[in-house]
Amino acid sequence: MSERLIAVYEVAGPAAEAEKTARAIAYEETVEVPLDFPLKASIRENVVGRVAAVAPTHEGRWRVEVDFPAALAGGRLGAFLNLVYGNASLWTDVRLVDVRFPASFLGSFSGPNFGLRGLRELLGVQGRPLLATALKPMGSTNEEFAAAAAAFARGGGDIVKDDQNIVDTSLESFRSRVDAIAKALSRENKSCLYFPHLSAPQEELEERLKFILDRGLRGVLICPAIVGLDTLRRLAASHRAVFMAHPAYSGAFYAQRSQGIEHSLYLGTLMRLAGADISVFPNAGGRFSFTRDECLSITAKARAPFGHLAAMWPAPGGGMGLGDAETMAADFGTDAIWLVGGRLLMHAGGPEAGARAFREKVLACASGA
């Protein structure tokens, strides 16, 4: 029998209604004809999805599994998204919550270039979370950004990234900004990485990425929902860089719990499949509305066995302060990146003291500490 790809959805009940929705998905995502269409037996047997399970959830919804021939996705990201959530995305009450991939499908993807282990080797840091910050606010001068990055490095930070709002609408301004920050960091002679935001019209992405890598930098911040998930996949498959994925513009996929794509599937599985080494998401308790369970599920998907694909770093952030350190440590353990922006930069002693204060917290979370 051909290999199967199982898509799991949460839909409205009662059972008969849920089963009907599951059958509608199985049709809509493959043959897309009315149920009374005279399908050939070969199509009905080999193309149409099959309803594999219907069961109630604890929240009063129904979890249904639809089993598709994996060949329909052909090991391709676009074809896969179309298959499991193309027209189904148009229904107001169907949420894609999980996918079980056959090994052959995953075999077509190269996944994260560095992942958990590779990034640790790059930084020479073992057994503790990594400390990251964002350069902001946009509108600062290159010198101000460079000074903040250098101070963060002196304070012991591991990764400084551009704020995702910083987009440099000209190639020239992008180059001079990145150059100024990279120079300042290199003068500090610390093992602190700088990830510029890779944002540009598609025609220019390659040139910007090449500039970044030629400059000796090792990775980028990227917004996959904006540049396109398949753009991330293409760039990651063709350039040995660290890709830090930011969730900008992707919230509509998961923000409403009765529709869209489950947080863990979108920010965990899909980002990793597309080649993200790091997935940034707003931590529970910050200024966005992710629950602790959602954050833990993303983290689980980032690290779980996933074919031959390297594990990905979860990077919770979004309004975290020093007082959240113990919770971060307990929730995410050592294999996580703490992304601290505003509160670190605003530290009474400046960004260097801010980095030092957060670094102490990160060290306290070291293995065995």
By CB under 8 A, the residues from 284 to 313 that bind a copy of itself are 287-289
Closer residue to a copy of itself in complex, CB, 11/365 = 11
CB 124 within 8 A of CB 159: no
Q: Is 2 in the site for a copy of itself (CB under 8 A)?
A: no
Closer residue to a copy of itself in complex, CB, 208/361 = 208
Stretch that binds a copy of itself, among 9-17, 87-95, 174-182, 307-315 (CB under 8 A): 87-95
Q: Is 171 in the site for a copy of itself (CB under 8 A)?
A: no
Q: Is 175 in the site for a copy of itself (CB under 8 A)?
A: no
Q: Which long-range contacts (CB under 8 A, 24 or more apart) does 99-104 make?
A: 99/5, 99/6, 99/7, 99/8, 99/265, 99/269, 100/5, 100/6, 100/8, 101/5, 101/70, 101/307, 102/3, 102/4, 102/5, 102/70, 103/307, 104/3, 104/70, 104/75
- Residue whose structure tokens are 């093992």: 191
Closer residue to a copy of itself in complex, CB, 83/311 = 83
| Contact pick of 261, 311, 325, 355 for a copy of itself (by CB under 8 A) | 261
Q: Is 350 in the site for a copy of itself (CB under 8 A)?
A: no
Q: Is 110 in the site for a copy of itself (CB under 8 A)?
A: no
> Pairing state of beta strands 242-245 and 219-222?
parallel
Task: Assign 132 to helix, strand or coil.
Answer: strand
Task: Say how far apart CA 160 and CA 146 lie, in whole Å.
Answer: 11
Minimum CB distance to a copy of itself, residue 207 (Å): 14
The number of residues that bind a copy of itself (CB under 8 A) is: 88
| Contact pick of 14, 38, 216, 368 for a copy of itself (by CB under 8 A) | 38
Alpha-helical segments (H) within the chain: 15-28, 41-46, 77-85, 103-106, 115-123, 142-154, 171-188, 202-214, 224-227, 229-238, 251-254, 263, 271-273, 292-303, 325-332, 342-345, 351-364
Minimum CB distance to a copy of itself, residue 116 (Å): 25
Q: Is 83 in the site for a copy of itself (CB under 8 A)?
A: yes
List, as one string, the DSSP characters of 182-200. Answer: HHHHHHHTSS-EEE-B--S
Closer residue to a copy of itself in complex, CB, 13/75 = 75
User: Binding to a copy of itself (CB under 8 A): which residues in 41-80?
Assistant: 42-43, 46-47, 71-79
User: Binding to a copy of itself (CB under 8 A): which residues in 114-143?
Assistant: 134, 136-140
Q: Is 335 in the site for a copy of itself (CB under 8 A)?
A: no
Minimum CB distance to a copy of itself, residue 343 (Å): 7
User: Binding to a copy of itself (CB under 8 A): which residues in 211-250?
Assistant: 223, 225-231, 233-234, 247-250
Task: Say how far apart CA 41 and CA 21 lie, in whole Å.
Answer: 22
CB 163 within 8 A of CB 134: yes
Closer residue to a copy of itself in complex, CB, 139/368 = 139
